[in-house]
Structure 1
Amino acid sequence: MQSVAAALTMVRDDAFFLKAWLRYYGGIFGRENCYIVNHGRGDEVAALADGCNVIGIPGDPHPNFDMKRWRLLNNLVQGLRCYYTHVVVGDVDELVVVDPGDGRTLLEYLREARPRRFLTPLGLEVIHRIDLEKEEISDRILGPRRHVRLAPHYSKPCIVSHGAKIARGGHFSQYDKIHAPDELYLFHLKFCDFRNYTEVMNARNAVTESVGADVQTSSIGRHWFAEARGEDRAVFEAFSDLEMKAGFDLGWVRKRMHRSWGPRGETGFWSFARPEYEQQYVVPDRFLGVI
């Protein structure tokens, strides 16, 4: 039984992403070290997460859903830190990966990592190039999908071994230093599969419609609202317009993160600049099958 690292997420009916999350973190940390908040106490979530630590909570819709969610996750992280050195926390469609060229699993990496800090993996968004990638996703995502785009918004301080507070959405923390190791990546999976994307967005739009919330007055991300969604196929077709970059040396991105690091106004949180990079990369073969 290990006490080096635990993984924590909250999910409501996202079986596609939960299966990937469980395969990855359950395989590396052990299911007994995986903690899942089952929002709405869904039967499918409970069945898929068998062997994990499942916390069922009411699923009543609320316009400040995201604010409540991160208040709960913040407190769970700090409680778990009493028993684990590191806690990896994030959305169910986010997976933290150590570059396979390093030779260590995430658990092995964290066993040797210095504690009492936040670690910030480099955010990469897995994109489904529907013009090139016809293979369906089964038990692995990287393989059928080979393309990623830079996603500074998902370079999150998500590996926690310090008592500082995390902001709503997990994008910032009140820890005043940045540690962004070269070996760490966060793969965001929202756009990894066109068919699943449309199903998930339909479900999320139904939630916001049921609470009568709008983009301006609620504490829910814009992507949950039908009016901010756009046309699904056009979103995916546009990925082919992103500039294709050769190689996979992303050290320059981490340098920019360090250079722009500073306080986020008077909020007590710290952050780096998050420009939009209209670029895509093909992941090296060493990453295939990792998630």
Structure 2
Amino acid sequence: MQSVAAALTMVRDDAFFLKAWLNHYGRMLGRENCYIVNHGRGAEVAALARGCNIIGIPGDPHPNFDMKRWRLLNNLVQGLRCYYDHVIVGDVDELVVMDPQTGQTLLDFLRDAPLRRVVTPVGLEVIHRIDIEPDTIDGAILGPRRHVRLAPHYSKPCLISHGAKIARGGHFTQYDKLHVPPGLYLFHLKFCDFANYVATMNQRNKVTEEVGVGVQQAAIGRHWFAEARGEDRAVFEAFADLEMQDGFDLGWVRKRMERSWKPRGETGFWNFDRPDYPMQFRLPERFDGVI
């Protein structure tokens, strides 16, 4: 039984993403090292996550949902650090991956990684090119989906072996050094499948509707609100307009992150610049089946 790494997430429904999360981390770390906060104690979540460590909590709607969620996750991370060298924490649609070209799995990487650090993968958003890719996914996500766009917002400090506090949303920590290893990526899956996107957004809009307050009054991600949603098909059609890049060398992204590293005002948190890059890449075939 390994004690190198545990994975932690919180989920409410979202069976599509939970299946991918379980397949990725459950297979790599062992389900006994996966920790799932079951928000609302959903029966489907409990059934899918059988063999994992499931923490059921009430699912009552609350305007400070994100604030409460990350307070809980912060404390769980620090508790789990007493028993594991590293804790991987993030949303259920975020998966940390090692480039197969490195010859290492994520567990291999963490087994050799120094302790008392916060490690940040480069964020990539898997996009469903509805103009050229199949409508449905049967099995692995990467393969049927081969296109990604740079997503600095999802270059999250999510591999934790230090007692630093994590900000709401998981985007920043109170750790003053930046570690961005080559070949380490965070794949954000929100846009990986058009049909699932529509269903997921319908569910999230329903949750925020039940809360009963607007974007400005809630500590919930803006993207959960119907008023910020936009027209779904137009969102996906616009992916074709992103400029296609040659190759898959993202060393320049890591250098820009390092050059712009600085304190986030007087908050105690640290960050790098997160510009919008209107570009996309086609993943090399070596990534097929990794997720």
SS at match of 1:9: strand
The 5 A counterparts of 1:34-183 are 34-183=34-183
Q: How does 1:199-278 map to 2 (within 5 A)?
A: 199-278=199-278
Q: Which residue of 2 aligns with 1:21?
A: 21
Query: Could you state the TM-score of these two structures normalised by the residue count of structure 1?
Result: 0.99
Shift of 1:105: 0.9
SS at match of 1:56: strand
For this pair of structures, how many residues does the alignment match?
A: 291
Q: CA deviation at 1:136?
A: 1.7
CA distance in 1, matches of 2:150, 2:178: 19
Asked if structure 1 preserves the Cα contact closer than 8 Å seen for 2:117 and 2:162, the reply is yes
Residues 128-149 of structure 1 deviation map (CA, whole Å, 9 limit, x = unaligned): 0000001521221000000000
- Misfit runs of 4+, over 2 Å: none
Q: TM-score, normalization: structure 2?
A: 0.99
- Equivalent residue of 2:75, what SS? helix
In structure 2, C-alpha distance between the alignment counterparts of 1:53 and 1:152, rounded to whole Å: 31
Q: Deviations over 1:165-208 (max 9, x none)?
A: 00000000000000000120000000000000000000000000
**Counterparts of 1:250 and 1:27, CA distance in 2:** 27
Q: Quick check: 76-85 or 205-214, which moved more?
A: 205-214
Asked if the contact 1:96/1:185 (under 8 Å) is kept, the reply is yes
Conservation of the 8 A alpha-carbon contact between 1:125 and 1:151: yes
CA distances 1:230-252 after superposition (whole Å, capped 9, x unpaired): 00000000000000001000000
Q: Distance in 2 between matches of 1:170 and 1:109?
A: 21
Q: Which amino acid aligns with 1:132?
A: I
The gaps in structure 1 that reach 5 residues or longer are: none
Distance in 1 between residues matched to 2:162 and 2:177, nearest whole Å = 11
**Change in CA separation of 1:208 and 1:290 when aligned onto 2, cut-off 3 Å:** same
Q: Deviations over 1:43-80 (max 9, x none)?
A: 00000000000000000000000000000000000000
State the SS of the aligned residue for 1:168: coil
Deviations 1:244-263 (A, max 9, x none): 00100000000000000000
Contact 2:35–2:53 (CA under 8 A) maintained in structure 1: yes
Do the aligned partners of 2:3 and 2:85 also contact (CA within 8 Å) in 1? Answer: yes
AA matched with 1:238: A
2:135 touches 2:194 (CA, 8 Å); kept in 1?
no
* Conservation of the 8 A alpha-carbon contact between 1:39 and 1:56: yes
Deviations 1:115-134 (A, max 9, x none): 10000000000000000001
What is the RMSD of the two structures over their aligned residues, measured on CA atoms? 0.5
Aligned AA for 2:132? L
Unmatched 5+ stretches in structure 2? none
Letter in 1 for 2:108: E
Contact 2:86-2:160 within 8 A present in 1 as well: yes
Residue 9 of structure 1 corresponds to 9
Q: Is the 8 A contact 2:215 2:222 kept in 1?
A: yes
- In structure 2, how many angstroms separate the alpha carbons of the residues matched to 1:85 and 1:57? 26
SS in 1 for 2:77: helix
Tell me, yes or no, if the aligned pair for 1:135 and 1:144 is still in contact at 8 Å.
no
2:210 is matched by which residue type in structure 1?
Answer: S
Tell me how far apart the structure 1 counterparts of residues 267 and 197 of structure 2 sit (CA, whole Å): 34
Distance between the aligned counterparts of 2:262 and 2:275, measured in 1? 15
Distance in structure 2 (CA, Å) of the matches to 1:212 and 1:247: 47
Q: Is the CA contact 1:156–1:170 (under 8 Å) kept in the aligned structure 2?
A: yes
State, as a whole percentage, how many aligned pairs show the same letter. Answer: 78
Secondary structure, counterpart of 2:55 in structure 1 = strand
